[in-house]
Amino acid sequence: MEKQVIQISKFLSLVLRHQPELIGLSLAEAGWVAVHDLLAACRRHGKTISLEQLQEVVATNDKKRFSFSEDGNLIRANQGHSVKVELGYEPATPPVTLFHGTAERFLASIKSQGLLKGERHHVHLSADIETATKVGQRHGKPIVLHIDAEKMQQDGFTFYLSTNGVWLTEHVPVPYLMFL
Ligand code: HQG
């Protein structure tokens, strides 16, 4: 991705997931913001973004982090929020095994507490090892944990699938983690 597009994407992550108030915005239901309001708020705060640039970021973002509403008037982050927002994803049946990429230094704590959602709304899980490895690398030497998602669902845990393919759940208790 081009440098400017990455910068815009990072700024959008900040305001659409974490601190909309930074530019005087608040998120409406399910995290949506009017595109017009977003661009005006950015402009007022010295971060002018054109509609074409915004469309390019949404279309080319490496993790498909953002979506427009069907009519194109609204925009939101698909997941990853720390502000309180109900994204409205329906419960979904996960694959038998899901993966979580983390760093070696977190392992002792994960072994005692399971996977915790921390600042985010959910624990983030991947359907493939490659993606999980990349997620883990962001924190240090990557370790990929295998999760018995089938058993979790049988035991009553709920999973959601975000628009951009991330599996979400509240908490993964230790017994469902397979330490390889
Ligand atoms: C770890 C990126 C100690 C957890 C990615 C992780 C993802 C624990 C870190 C999305 C723990 C939290 C989310 C415990 C979990 N003790 N550490 N009990 N339980 N952890 O960034 O999953 O670029 O909040 O393993 O692609 O790394 O934002 O979560 O290492 O989908 O679009 O605590 O962020 O997407 O880190 O990443 P994060 P994550 P975006």
Task: Note whether 174 and 114 are within 8 A (CB).
Answer: yes
**11 part of a folded domain:** yes
Find out whether the beta carbon of 113 lies less than 6 Å from any atom of ligand 1. yes
Find out whether the beta carbon of 110 lies less than 6 Å from any atom of ligand 1. yes
Number of domains in the chain: 2
How far apart CA 180 and CA 130 sit, in angstroms, is 16
Give the amino acid at 79. Q
How far apart CA 127 and CA 14 sit, in angstroms, is 25
Three-state DSSP string of 17-33: HHCHHHHCCCCCHHHCE
**Which structural domain range is residue 61 located in?**
2-77
Q: Which of 30, 42, 16 is nearest to 69 (CA)?
A: 30
Which residue's alpha carbon is nearest to atom 40 within ligand 1?
80
**3-state DSSP assignment of residue 157:** coil
The CATH number of the domain where 145 resides is what?
Answer: 3.20.170.30
pLDDT at 62: 86
Cα-to-centroid distance, 22 and ligand 1 (Å)? 24
**Same-domain status, 66 and 102:** no
Which residue's alpha carbon is nearest to atom 22 within ligand 1?
124
**Same-domain status, 17 and 63:** yes
Instruction: Tell me which of 77, 110, 143 is where a domain ends.
Output: 77
Cα-to-centroid distance, 102 and ligand 1 (Å)? 7
- Checking if the pLDDT of 1 tops 60, the result is no
**Same-domain status, 121 and 66:** no
How far apart CA 65 and CA 138 sit, in angstroms, is 17
pLDDT at 158: 97
**Same-domain status, 69 and 103:** no
Cα-to-centroid distance, 20 and ligand 1 (Å)? 21
Atom of ligand 1 nearest to the CA of 124: 22
Instruction: Tell me which of 43, 77, 111 is where a domain ends.
Output: 77
**Strand 74-77, strand 33-34: pairing:** antiparallel
pLDDT at 155: 97
Find out whether the beta carbon of 134 lies less than 6 Å from any atom of ligand 1. no
Find out whether the beta carbon of 120 lies less than 6 Å from any atom of ligand 1. yes
Q: Tell me how crowded residue 38 is: count the other CB atoms within 10 A of its CB.
A: 21
The residue to mutate among 12, 66, 82, 110, having the most atoms of ligand 1 within 8 angstroms of its beta carbon, is: 110
The string of pLDDT tens digits covering residues 61-117 is 988 999 999 999 999 999 999 998 999 999 999 999 999 999 999 999 999 999 999
How far apart CA 138 and CA 101 sit, in angstroms, is 9
**Same-domain status, 62 and 123:** no
Find out whether the beta carbon of 63 lies less than 6 Å from any atom of ligand 1. yes
pLDDT at 179: 73
Q: What is the mean pLDDT of the chain?
A: 95
